[in-house]
Amino acid sequence: MNTELITAMVAFIVGFLPNAAHFEPSAAPAAVPVVQASVVEAERSVVPGRFDPITSPDVGEHCADSLGSDGISEFFANPIGSFQGADYQRATRLDDGRVLWTFQDAFISGTLVHNAAMIQSGRCFSLLNSGPRSWLLADQTHHMNQWHWPFDASTVVEKDEIHLFVVQMNETGGQYLTRSRPTAMRRVVLDASTLEPIEIIDEEPTGDDLYGWSVTSDDAFTYLYSHCYQQFGFDGLFGFGECVEVVKLARVPLGELDAPREYWDGAGWVDDHQQAQAVIDGTWAFSGNNPAQVRFDGDRYLLVEKRDDWWGSTVEFGVADTATGPFEHSASIDEPLKCDPSACNTYFAAWVPWTDTDGNHIWSIGHNRWNGAETASHLSTYRPTFHTIDL
């Protein structure tokens, strides 16, 4: 591993702790409505337009000038009310035309919280956090010791619900992000109209494979792509775990997130998650870490990922005719750094659920600084940028 990057990562972790302005207060665990996943009868859902233009009205507290990649980049380049910066930007198209945005670590009014969300209607955005605290599961958060990071989401039209996958993380190292382990997967069910949580569902354990990292649907099935999310401290102090190389795939009937899952075993669909085989591995783009995001555009399955996560220098794109692949490598783009690579980095690329006026797909990427002492004092770096690609 590059020694300059190791030195920078040390500075990130060591410098982060005393320089993060204010921290989200820890809370003692409180009673939360948690239920075990169960099989239920669900009506067939309807898949909304996957990359259609945004047609919802301009309603919200803060509005972008336009929804092209330049317009959204400019919008996120500045504070959005009390929202000052965040990473792991994900956008889920809702059935009423709005877009739910979720983020992992975010700065809200100078306070570092472990998850945040916005709702977008038309060109306008409103923050869903109630003050400087985590949007979800704040009462089960112990700052930098136990927290909850959002993964991807799926809508269930007939029930007027959004099912958001969330991973519980626990720090098992000496300091934040030195050895952060995923310890539980949950689904937070939201009312699709009010965005209020309805219930929290404990996901059945599937080993290191965390299904729900990326979610997409075609006309018959909802697909759950996995990622083990072992980022730091697994191969030496700052290396990722070996499992991050592998992406596996589960499916349920369209929108039936409580239904028994089937897993791709390389030749067909089986009931046993232990037989699941990779649909993406280290041979794809020669990446040792594949935090892939996949979306079905009505014709093909589109893949975007930042190669090797924090440590790579390119963004990779692929296309496939089926959810199981194979994904044909279609493009490689140099990471769009905000400053010199000795100071700045990028990670986590994702799709935006609409195209620009020329029909090009829009993708986003997160940004940070290697020296954690500089993150809170350079929050203009800690904001996503948006770009286009013609696939």
Cα 103 off chain centre by: 7
Mean pLDDT of 306-327: 96
Q: Encoding tokens for residue 60? A: 């919200």
The separation between the first and the last C-alpha atoms of the chain, rounded to the nearest angstrom, is 33
Rounded to 5°, angle at Cα 42 from 36 and 249 = 65
- The tokens describing 252, both together, are 């349920």
Q: Is the pLDDT at 367 greater than 80, yes or no?
A: yes
Residue 264 burial (CB < 10 Å; 0-12/13-18/19+)?
buried
Averaged pLDDT for residues 118-126 = 98
Average pLDDT over residues 65-79: 98
Q: What is the DSSP string of 83-118?
A: EEEESS-EEEE-TTS-EEEEESSEEETTEEES-EEE
CA separation for the pair 347, 310 (Å, rounded): 5
Determine the structural domain holding residue 32 and report its residue range.
Answer: 3-389
Helix (H, G, I), strand (E, B) or coil at 372: helix
Which is higher by pLDDT, 372 or 264? 264
DSSP3 helix / strand / coil % (the chain, rounded to 5)? 10, 40, 50
Distance between CA atoms of residues 274 and 283, nearest Å: 22
Q: Please tell me the total number of residues recorded for the chain in this structure.
A: 391
- Adjacent-strand bridge partners of 386: 364
Residue 6's CB: how many other CB atoms inside 10 A? 16
Q: Residue 232's pLDDT is what?
A: 84
Instruction: Provide mean pLDDT across the span 195-207.
Output: 97
Beta bridge partners of 126: 119
Task: Give the tens place of pLDDT for each residue, 7-38.
Answer: 555 556 555 554 445 667 665 434 334 444 43
Task: Indicate the average pLDDT of the chain.
Answer: 90
pLDDT of 293 over the 90 cut: yes
Residue 247: band (very low, low, confident or very high) from pLDDT cuts 50, 70, 90: very high
CATH of the domain at 297: 2.115.10
Q: How far, in Å, CA of 337 to CA of 353, rounded?
A: 23
Encoding tokens for residue 309?
A: 């996560």
The predicted model scores a pTM of 0.92
- Residue 385 falls in which region: left (phi positive, over 0), alpha (psi -120 to 50) or beta: beta
pLDDT per position as a tens digit, 79-103? 999 999 999 999 999 999 999 999 9
Give the count of domains, the chain.
1
